[in-house]
Amino acid sequence: MTEPLSSDERDLLLWLAQEDFSQYGECHGKTLDALIAKGLVQHHPNTGFDNTFIAKGSGIMFDKVSLTEIGISKVIEERNRK
């Protein structure tokens, strides 16, 4: 379907799949950047106050991230590989 994932990318993708949204600051870094570049995860800018997280703020670290439809398909593919 999509290109193979590194073990770090796979771990983060599966972790992100546990919730509808995660906070950017919980998972930021090169692995998240790679998943976004591959179209598997999306960043929702300016959502730092419009979320259900305990921490709220105006910076990127407070924004939401979530799986894209392609990301959800990749999670299913990865889970079926076991």
In a domain, 2, yes or no: no
Q: What percent of the chain has pLDDT over 70?
A: 95
Check whether 3 has a pLDDT greater than 90: no
- Closest listed residue to residue 17, CA positions, set 63, 77, 81: 77
Label residue 82 by pLDDT band (50, 70, 90). Answer: low
Torsion of CA 41, 47, 48, 53, to 10 degrees: -70
Number of domains in the chain: 1
In a domain, 1, yes or no: no
CATH number for the domain spanning 73: value is 1.10.10.10
This model's pTM is above 0.85: yes
